[in-house]
Amino acid sequence: MALWGGRFSQAADDRFKQFNDSLPFDYRLAEQDIIGSVAWSKALVTVNVLSAQEQAALEAALNELLAEVRSAPEAILSSDAEDIHSWVEQKLIGQVGDLGKKLHTGRSRNDQVATDLKLWCKGEVEVLLAAVRELQQALVLTAEQNQDAVMPGYTHLQRAQPVTFAHWSLAYVEMLARDESRLQDAFNRMNTSPLGAGALAGTAYPIDRDQLAGWLGFSAATRNSLDSVSDRDHVLELLSIASISMIHLSRFAEDMIFFNSGESGFIELSDRVTSGSSLMPQKKNPDALELIRGKCGRVQGALTGIMMTLKGLPLAYNKDMQEDKEGIFDALDTWLDCLHMAALVLDGIQVRRPRCQEAAQQGYANATELADYLVAKGIPFREAHHIVGAAVLGAIQQGKALEALSLETLKAFSPVIEEDVYPALSLASCLEKRCAKGGVAPSQVAFAIADAKGRLGM
């Protein structure tokens, strides 16, 4: 029986029921609905709606139901209940009879679902925070193991200046650290309880909502009943954070796909995260990374969807808001899977140091070093830039690297160039000079690794 049937003289059309029912996806809120119901039963004792004995009986029955849900959550789907709130109430009435009908006193499905979803989101934040930190730790370990792996850095996908594979890994640690910070901030903002806000105007019973919030693990109760039942900012924030983080993961995947390509050959991926071709026996495809890159759009689509759903809604609750759940359930599941998969990809990676170094020595990645050398000899940088550009052009015409040009040839571009130019053009010199904080100098990379390990408790 529907929770709202008394007003109606006709049964709902089966097609409408199928269209309207949310149990096929909001069954995932079963635990939260039961936990919220236990807390509400305690609140009803404080306003003399329930006796202590009645509350104890309800709590015992709800705890039995919670154990049942935890052991087989998908068994809920065999029910024809409209939503998870109806299912919990029907099961409770089946266990304790008419006493179960008293539990909903002073409560609405509007504040109930808002509470359930916030509780679920809080739990997911904790899981996601752990996964984000685990991936950061995997990247730090990768950096630690590859401090000596020199490779080209890129701008515009053109070889720019030499970096190390460790420095590249640490760049993604920084991105994920910001994702972690955003999750923590979002958790703090969502940590208020809507329960007791009723349908839109608050509950008619003098319940201490801050006490109720504390029982549920919230820091406080929400301040406005209209906002409480219609607020889905926590959904928007989590989807926004997921979308940003998935951009980071997609860029990570794209870099790795490029590094793994035959044209680069900087890394080899483990067989555990690659697949073959049904036609070409030689292929080893980076499917795990391609799927991470592909799923980025899926998560961003969920964010766009809920923004469009909410943008024109009047206060307070509207059934449109039922659309908040499928998107966030799928998006956060997808983000979590991608975080775990990225860590798995790193677990079996092999960095091909000789090939990385060979590539770093190509493309005139030490051109800036020659310009800095000229600056040290008293030539203004803009003039030095022009001189080095001409030198690079001459080297290209001869098919040689800058450091392979004779001193006589180099002096033709600038007479201040002496024999001491050659050490300045080495890869080691290129790295060591970048010794300011955040640079690619080995000392800075080692410092960054130690600092990251400290932050991550490694």
Using CA atoms, how far apart are residues 269 and 100, in angstroms rounded to an integer?
Answer: 57
DSSP per residue, 26-65:
HGGGHHHHHHHHHHHHHHHHHTTSS-HHHHHHHHHHHHHH
Only one residue has tokens 């390990």, namely 453
Give 13's DSSP letter.
P
Q: How far apart are the first and last CA of the chain?
A: 54
Cβ neighbours, 10 Å, residue 399: 7
Note if the bond before 316 is cis, omega within 30 degrees: yes
Contact between 169 and 343 (Cβ < 8 Å): no
- Pick the closest to residue 92 from 3, 217, 203 (CA basis): 3
Q: Which residues are catalytic?
A: 156, 277
Question: How many residues are there in the chain?
Answer: 458
DSSP per residue, 319-338:
GGGGGHHHHHHHHHHHHHHH
Identity of the residue numbered 443: S
136 alpha carbon, distance to own chain's centre = 12
- Please give the angle made by the CA atoms of 121, 126 and 130, to the nearest 5 degrees: 140
Contacts of 320 (CB under 8 A, 6+ apart): 309, 310, 313
Burial of 321 (0-12, 13-18, 19+ CB in 10 A): buried
Identity of the residue numbered 108: S
- Pick the closest to residue 88 from 143, 40, 47 (CA basis): 40
Using CA atoms, how far apart are residues 187 and 123, in angstroms rounded to an integer?
Answer: 10
Using CA atoms, how far apart are residues 361 and 250, in angstroms rounded to an integer?
Answer: 28
Strands 220-221 and 192-193: parallel
